[in-house]
Amino acid sequence: MPNKPLKRKAPTRYSRGSGTEKPESGLIRLNKFIANAGICSRREADQLIVAGAIKVNGKTVRELGTKISPDDKVQYGEMTIGRERPVYVLLNKPKGFITTTDDPFNRKTVMELVKNACRERIYPVGRLDRNTTGLLLFTNDGEVAKKLTHPSHRIEKLYHVYLDKALKKSDMIRMTEGLELDDGFIRADEVSWVEGAGDKKQVGIRIHSGKNHIVRRIFEHLGYKILRLDRVVFAGLTKKDLPRGRWRFLTQEEVNRLKMLGKR
C-alpha cells in the first residue's frame, strides 16, 4: 500500500507547501534542503521525493512542496543529510593534479589543494585533465553545479593555448565555422592569436561546449599539438589576482551571477 503524503498538523514541524500560503519562519522546502546539502540539483531532489527515496523523521515523504524545519532529520536511503551552508571555492589549478575526489592509484588530486578551504564537503564542477591548468570551481551547491555542467546552459570558457607551431588563419576560420569530430559537430565561438605573444603559437579560444578534452581534440583534428593549456575564464569568473595553486572564495556578487545563468 503506498505511503500517504504527509499533511501538516500540530505539532508537526514540516508542512505541505502551496503557492498561496505565507512563508513560515524557519522552514525550508525539502528539495532546496537536499540541493543545499550537495546531494543533487533541486529538480533531481524532486524526483527522489516522488520516488519515495527521502524520509523526514523516519517517515517517507512523497509530496512535492513539503517544507521542513532545521530540527527535522532528513534521510536519503541510510544516509542522514546534513544542512550545510553553500560554499563556492575557485582554484587556479596547477599541472599534475587530476580532477577527482579520490584516486585508487594514489595520484595527486585537486582535493588536496582545497582541503583546508572549509569544513563542508565540496566537489569539483566539471573536469580539467591532469596537464591542463587554470580555473576550477568547487561547491556543495548541487543546483549550481548542475547548471554549470548541463549543455543546455552553454557555459562560456576561455582557454589560452600554447601550440607546437603557428596557427594558420585558414584553420582559425575552420574552427569558428565548425568541424566534424568523431562525436559530432563542434564550433568555437571565437579564436584569435594572443596579442603581444610575439608569435602565432599562442592562441585564445572561447567555447561553450563541455565535451571531454574538446579543446585538445579540436587542435589535434587540424594537425596541431598542444604544449600547454590554461583555462583563464569559466562562467564569467577570471584568474585575476589568483596565483597558480591558490584558491579563494567567491564573492556574493559572483555567486549571484552564477545563480542567474540560464535564466531569461
Contact 139, 125 (CB under 8 A): yes
Reading the block at residue 200, the C-alpha cell is: 602565432
Smallest CA-to-CA distance from 131 within 165, 162, 154, 172 is with 162
- Name the residues annotated as catalytic: 129
- Name the phi and psi angles at 6, rounded to 5: -75, 130
CA 113, 118, 120, 125 dihedral sign is: negative
Contact 186, 179 (CB under 8 A): yes
Tally of CB atoms within 10 A around 90: 22
Smallest CA-to-CA distance from 112 within 87, 93, 125, 134 is with 93
Q: How far apart are the first and last CA of the chain?
A: 42
Q: Report how far residue 183's alpha carbon sits from residue 127's, in angstroms, rounded to the nearest whole number.
A: 18
Cα angle 36-37-38, degrees, rounded to a multiple of 5: 90
Residue with cell 549550481: 144
CA 39, 45, 51, 57 dihedral sign is: positive
What does DSSP assign to residue 148?
H
Contact 189, 208 (CB under 8 A): yes
